[in-house]
Amino acid sequence: MIDGEKKHPSFPIFIVDDEMNSLKAMEKILRSGGFDNLIPISNGIDLMVEIREKGADLVILDICMPILRGDEILVLLQDEFPVIPVMMVTALNDVDSAVDCLKKGACDYFVKPVEMGRFISRVRHLISQKELMRENRSLTASLLTSALVSPENFSDIIYCSDKIHKILKYIEAIACSSFPVLITGDTGVGKELIAQAIHKSSNRSGACVSINVAGIDDSLLSDTLFGHVPGAFTGAKNRRAGLVASAARGTLFLDEIGDMTQFSQVKLLRLIQEREYYPVGSDSPGKSEARIVTATCKSLEDLRVGGTFRKDLYYRLYTHHIHVPPLRDRREDIPLLINHFLRKAIALSGKEIKVVSDEVYDVLIKYDFPGNVRELESIILDAVTLSKCGKIVVDSIFEKVKSRSEDYSGVGRSGLKIEPPYCSDRKNSSEKNDYSGYGQSDSGINFFCCMDKLPTIKQAEECLVREALSRSSGILTDAARLLGISRQALGQRLKRWSRSI
C-alpha cells in the first residue's frame, strides 16, 4: 500500500473471531476480493470501542466466542449502530441459529469454510449499499445549497443557466464517489468538459486519461486500454502499460461508449465490477483504482432494448447519470459563449476586434445550433477570421446561419421565429414596443467581449440592461428578474435614459 493511497472501503471492515487462524484466513479472502481496509479483532468489547472511534462499513462476526457470543454482540451492534451491516459466520451448520441471527438483524449467515465466490459477492453488495447511502446523504445536503463549493473546478465551463448550474452542483455532490458516471447529450454540448470537471472536483491524485472508443476494433482497444506483455502477439517485444494503468488513482474517460462492441463491453464490465483487468497475453490480473466516466450521444436504452448493449453494463454505468442539454434549450448561455469564443478567436488570429454588431447577438440567440457549442465556436472563429477593419457585422453570420437552418424565415424546431437583421417586429407587445430599443449604444460596441479599457459605470449598466431586454424579448418583468431588481426600478432607469436621449 502506497502512503496516502485511499483504502477500500472508506470505513473499516471489522473481522471478529477469537481464533487467530480464522482471522488470518478471513483477512486473506477479503484481500483477494480487493478489500484492504480491514481490522481483525478477537472479542466484542474491543469491537464496540473501535467502532465508536473509527466507524465501520461492515462487521463480519463469528458466533462461537467466549465472554460475549456473536449473537449477543449482534444485539449490542443493532442497538447502538443499526445502520452498520453485520454478517455472521460459524463452524456450526445450525438452521435455528441462522434464523435467530437473521431475526436479530444480521444481513447474512455463512458456515465455515465459506464459499469464497458467494461470500465476496455478498460483501461487495453490502459495501456498495453503504457507499450509495453515504453519497445520497451528501447529494441531498449539497443540493440544498445554491452556491458551488469550489467554482474554480468549473472555470472552463461558460454558463449562466440554471440547467448547467444544477449539473455542476450534482458533480460536486458525487465528486468523491468511486462509482461510474455516464454523461449523455447531443454532439457538441461539451461532454468532455463535464468529464474533466468531474475529475477536477474529485481531488484524485492521478491523471484524467481520455479515449474515444468509436471505430476501434476489439483487439486494438484491449491493447490500448489494458496494455500487453512481451510475446502477447507478433512484434510485442516489451511490456506496455495501457491507459487503465495510466489512469491509476485518477479518472478514465471513455467517449462514445455506445459504439463499443459486446466483446469489449464484457471487459469493461469486469473492470468496473471487479476492479481488475488482464493485459493482452497475461494470465495475471492487474488491479485498477481508476474512476470510470463514460459518455455517449446515443440512447443506451435503445441499444439495450435492441440487444447491442449489455443489460448488466447498462445498469452499472447508470449509477450516476448526467444529461447535458442542447444549446437551444439554454439560450441564455449563448451571449456569454459568444464573448468567450470572441476572446479565444482574437487571441488565435491576432486580429483586433473593437465593434460587434448587436444584430450578431440577436441572430445567434435565435438560431437552433444543431451542432451546439462546437458549432457556435466555429461560427465565431470564422467571423473573426473574415472580419475587416476591426468589425464583426451580421451579414456573413446571417448567411451562414441561414444556409444551415431548416427554414430561417419561419418557425424552427425550437418554435422561435428567426428574422433577417434590421427588420425586428416590435408590434406584438406593448412593453416591447415601448422599451426594447432603449439602452443600445450608437456604436454597437459590446463592452464585455473585447475591452481595450474598462467601461464607465453608466456604460456597463446600459449594456447589462440591453442584454436583459434582449434575452427577455423586451418584456420588462422578465428583464428585471434577470437583473435582480424590481420592475419599477428597471422602468425608472429606462425613463431616465429616455429623457437623456
pLDDT for res 480: 82
Q: Does domain 13-138 have CATH number 3.90.550.10?
A: no
What is the average pLDDT value for the chain, to the nearest integer? 84
Query: What's the whole-number mean pLDDT along residues 201-223?
Result: 94
pLDDT at 158 over 60: yes
Query: What's the whole-number mean pLDDT along residues 440-448?
Result: 43
What one-character DSSP code corresponds to residue 189?
A: S
Identical fold for domains 13-138 and 148-325, yes or no, is: yes
292-322 pLDDT tens trace: 999 999 999 999 999 999 999 999 999 899 9
Q: Mean pLDDT lowest for which of 47-61, 321-335, 467-481, 486-500?
A: 486-500
Query: What's the whole-number mean pLDDT along residues 362-383?
Result: 92
Question: Would you state the cell numbers that stand for residue 58, as one nine-digit string?
Answer: 461492515
- Class at the top of the CATH hierarchy for domain 148-325: alpha beta
Q: What confidence tier does 412 reach under pLDDT thresholds 50, 70, 90? A: very low
Task: End-to-end CA distance of the chain: give it in Å, rounded.
Answer: 73
What one-character DSSP code corresponds to residue 280?
A: B
Q: Whole-angstrom Cα distance, residue 285 to residue 269?
A: 14
Q: What confidence tier does 428 reach under pLDDT thresholds 50, 70, 90? A: very low
Fold held by 327-424: Helicase, Ruva Protein; domain 3 (1.10.8)
pLDDT for res 133: 82
Query: What's the whole-number mean pLDDT along residues 281-290?
Result: 91
pLDDT at 264 over 80: yes
Contact 397, 387 (CB under 8 A): no
pLDDT for res 137: 74
What one-character DSSP code corresponds to residue 458?
A: H
Domain ranges of the chain: 13-138, 148-325, 327-424, 425-501
Look up cell 480487493; give the residue: 34
Alpha helices (H) in 42-190, listed in sequence order = 44-54, 70-80, 95-103, 116-143, 162-174
Query: What's the whole-number mean pLDDT along residues 450-464?
Result: 71
pLDDT at 501 over 70: no
Query: Closest by alpha carbon to 248, among 204, 212, 283?
Result: 204
Q: What confidence tier does 462 reach under pLDDT thresholds 50, 70, 90? A: confident
- φ, ψ of residue 292 in degrees (nearest 5): -95, 125
How much of the chain is helix, strand and coil, in % rounded to 5? 50, 10, 40
What are the CA-CA distances from residue 229 to residues 279, 287, 295 (Å)?
7, 15, 29
328-365 pLDDT tens trace: 999 999 999 999 999 999 999 888 888 787 788 888 98
Q: For a pLDDT cut of 70, what percent of the chain falls above it?
A: 85
pLDDT at 431 over 50: no
